[in-house]
Chain A
Amino acid sequence: MSLLELKGVKKIYQQGKIKVPALRGVDLIVEQGEFSTIFGPSGSGKTTLLNMIGCLDTPTEGEIRLNGNKVSDLSRKALAMTRRFNIGFVFQSYNLIPVLTAYENVEFAIRLIDHTSELKVKERVLKILEEVGLKGLENRRPNELSGGESQRVAIARALVKEPKLVLADEPTANLDSKNAADVVKIMVKMNKELGTTFIFSTHDPMVMEYAHRYINLKDGMISADERRG
């Protein structure tokens, strides 16, 4: 059983009287542990596709299965639960909570699923922060962190609950090339160590280099899908 299966997924946005087709029939299978990038011109539907996969939105047509479970027609509440336990997100603009420290921003995600032991939570948060290279910066607030460090906090937040799938929509778009490379390297490392499946979208060829699979979107359809390495 594949981790993720999309069959004939379409998404049509209604803008006033005009129908905007963002996805026009996407078929895709992603296996556990894959490290894939979605690329394509602006407006090709990358964000829309990631939102469908991430259970943030439901397709107009077609079917999405996560772990064999159909998620394309779940209620809002059920979608929220699916996200909570199975999916990690990394956003282009980090979206950290400014009044929380790096530690607390990561703790936030794990508290939603783990109400057990204080000690275990602490251990996990510290460990994941160390993994993304933020040891010693745990008590900094987002305004005391660089863009690269902030995005690493966001990655730690996505990974701390050890989800099967992490989705990142242009995670490096706000970073300079060195920080961008660092962030992607961390994703690669976590993919290797934890076996977490990553799907990220990007415009940056340098970042794309690190992926094992390239999914090219054009006008809401997959025009190429290659594996490498």
Chain B
Amino acid sequence: MFSFKLGLKNLTRQKRRNVITILVIAFAFFGYLFMDSVMGGIEEMSFSNIKNYDTGNIQVVHPEYWKDREKLPLENLIYINQDIVDSIKNLDGVLGVSPELRFKANLNNGIDEVSVLGLGISSEQYNEVFATQNYIIEGSMFSTGESKAVIGVKLAELMDLKVNDYITLLVRTKEDTFNTIDVEISGLLNAPNPMINNGVVFVPLDIAQQGLNVGDGVSLLALKTASGDEDKIAKVLMDSFKNKDLDLKAYSWRESAESVIAFSTAKKGGAGTILSVVLLIGMIGIVNNVILSALERTAEIGMMKALGMREWEIVFVFMVEATGIGILGGLAGCLIGFTGVGLMAKYGFVDYSAMGVDISEFGLPIDKIYGTWNYPAFSFLFILSIMVALLSSILPAYWAAHKDPVKAIYHR
């Protein structure tokens, strides 16, 4: 079609302006893809923080405990029966099972007191599920039966504690009487999870059980699975608990991580805002381009009208050109985005430890953050660029085509 060809050829006019518009669109695109990748990276990091240092992939708990879990109750505990643990452990896809007793405690160093989360763990099993022990930077992990504790570096700093110092944990037993657990610090942790560094005291499970007077009770079993398998395995577990008439439920980490989900929601909101800005920039670029072209080609539009071209035919010529700019901008944006995201995914975009900044204070993970690939964002954005170009060129093109032919020809 001739008008189509003319529209394409018009792309070669005002090359500089077209290139600028294309670049503006491309960089707006890149900005979006970059942010999307960064946010994806942070999200992924938060997810893995939760999975690897806090909840494990799946938590097995008493349903009543689950409801109150934020309050760290000592009611509705699980009383470990080796058969159950073994049957869970032998399940396909389960890589580790770690019993955990969670409790509220006040940590006392002899002078000051601070409230902390106590975690009674069995160190070997804990190791199968969580990576935390890799981050012991001083001292070592305790073994079962030892009156020892491991705490985070931040907490140690706050309470002015070192390895081999003694601390007292003030707790309330199951019967609501006060008790103390006296332990020696055996190791200091600097894990990528800020919560662990700031406010957790690890003690051996049996020591915690004694101190809290809960017998064999544990708050939950944390399970490690291959990532992605959580929902499937949780369902299998639920079914088997039901069959065995056990009052237990299995929850994937997603369900126990509202804060993360909140971040994901915020991420979507943020992405939406950036997307609107990107689209607005694209729109302004295209509208500006069409208007300037139309002004420069007034006499030409007049000639087209004299030849008897209909308004929509002239609009079509302008729209082909605008859409061409949209497509080129979109392609260029995807290309730069591809490179940028590729680099971020490969080399990471921040390395706070290298920078000597501790961002855990801001609740952010400590490790290097890597960009994530979000392929649908690329195609989505590309299609959007075509739509934006089409839609935003209609009005200015119509304005151009609607000119009175006499005025257009003689520029009056």
Q: Do A and B truly interact?
A: yes
Verify if B405 is at the interface (C-beta below 8 Å from A). yes
Q: Which residues in B have their C-beta under 8 angstroms from that of A98?
A: 13
Stretch at the interface among B295-303, B336-344, B347-355: B295-303
A91 touches B409 (CB 8 A): yes
Task: Tell me the bound Cα distance from A95 to B409 in angstroms.
Answer: 9
Verify if A85 is at the interface (C-beta below 8 Å from B). yes
A85 touches B308 (CB 8 A): yes
Q: Which residues in B have their C-beta under 8 angstroms from that of A47?
A: 410
A108 touches B2 (CB 8 A): yes
- Mark out the residues of chain B between 244 and 259 whose CB falls within 8 Å of any chain A CB in the assembled complex: none
A91 touches B303 (CB 8 A): yes
- Mark out the residues of chain A between 170 and 202 whose CB falls within 8 Å of any chain B CB in the assembled complex: none
- Mark out the residues of chain A between 56 and 100 whose CB falls within 8 Å of any chain B CB in the assembled complex: 56-57, 77, 80-85, 87, 89, 91, 93, 95, 97-100
Q: Which residues in A have their C-beta under 8 angstroms from that of B2?
A: 107-108, 111
Closest Cβ of chain B to A176, distance in Å, is: 22
24 A–B contact pairs at CB < 8 A? A56-B305, A56-B306, A56-B405, A56-B406, A56-B409, A57-B405, A80-B308, A83-B306, A83-B307, A84-B308, A84-B309, A89-B303, A89-B307, A91-B299, A95-B302, A95-B409, A97-B300, A99-B13, A100-B6, A108-B307, A111-B2, A112-B307, A112-B308, A112-B309
Contact with A along B394-410 (1 / 0, CB 8 A): 00000000001110011
**What is the size, in residues, of chain B's interface with A at 8 Å between Cβ atoms?**
22
Residues of B within 8 A of A (CB): 2, 6, 9-10, 12-13, 299-300, 302-303, 305-310, 313, 404-406, 409-410
A109 touches B307 (CB 8 A): yes
B6, B13, B405: the one within 8 Å of A108 (CB):
B6
Closest Cβ of chain A to B164, distance in Å, is: 83
Closest Cβ of chain A to B227, distance in Å, is: 56
> Nearest CB to that of B2 among chain A residues?
A111
B6, B9, B406: the one within 8 Å of A51 (CB):
B406
Q: Which residues in B have their C-beta under 8 angstroms from that of A81?
A: 308
Interface centre among B2, B13, B305, B307 (most CB of A within 10 A): B307
Q: Is the interface of B mostly helix, strand, loop or mixed?
A: helix
Q: Which residues in A have their C-beta under 8 angstroms from that of B303?
A: 89, 91, 95
Closest Cβ of chain A to B14, distance in Å, is: 11
Closest Cβ of chain B to A104, distance in Å, is: 8
Known: A56-B305, A99-B10, A112-B307. 16 other contacts (CB 8 A): A54-B306, A56-B406, A56-B409, A57-B404, A80-B310, A81-B308, A82-B308, A83-B305, A83-B306, A83-B307, A84-B309, A99-B6, A107-B2, A108-B2, A112-B308, A157-B307
Residues of A within 8 A of B (CB): 47, 51, 54, 56-57, 77, 80-85, 87, 89, 91, 93, 95, 97-100, 107-109, 111-112, 157
Task: Tell me the bound Cα distance from A89 to B410 in angstroms.
Answer: 14
> Nearest CB to that of A77 among chain B residues?
B310
B9 touches A99 (CB 8 A): yes
> Nearest CB to that of B11 among chain A residues?
A99
Task: Tell me the bound Cα distance from A165 to B298 in angstroms.
Answer: 25
Q: Which residues in B have their C-beta under 8 angstroms from that of A108?
A: 2, 6, 307
Task: Tell me the bound Cα distance from A8 to B68 in angstroms.
Answer: 96
A57 touches B409 (CB 8 A): no
Q: Which residues in A have their C-beta under 8 angstroms from that of B306?
A: 54, 56, 83, 89, 91
Task: Tell me the bound Cα distance from A100 to B304 in angstroms.
Answer: 14
> Nearest CB to that of B310 among chain A residues?
A80
A80, A95, A111: the one within 8 Å of B300 (CB):
A95
B9, B10, B307: the one within 8 Å of A84 (CB):
B307
A57, A99, A109, A157: the one within 8 Å of B406 (CB):
A57
> Nearest CB to that of B10 among chain A residues?
A99
A93 touches B299 (CB 8 A): yes
Closest Cβ of chain A to B149, distance in Å, is: 79
Q: Which residues in B have their C-beta under 8 angstroms from that of A57?
A: 404-406
Task: Tell me the bound Cα distance from A83 to B406 in angstroms.
Answer: 13
Closest Cβ of chain B to A49, distance in Å, is: 12
Task: Tell me the bound Cα distance from A93 to B12 in angstroms.
Answer: 22
Task: Tell me the bound Cα distance from A89 to B306 in angstroms.
Answer: 7
Task: Tell me the bound Cα distance from A56 to B306 in angstroms.
Answer: 7
Closest Cβ of chain B to A198, distance in Å, is: 16
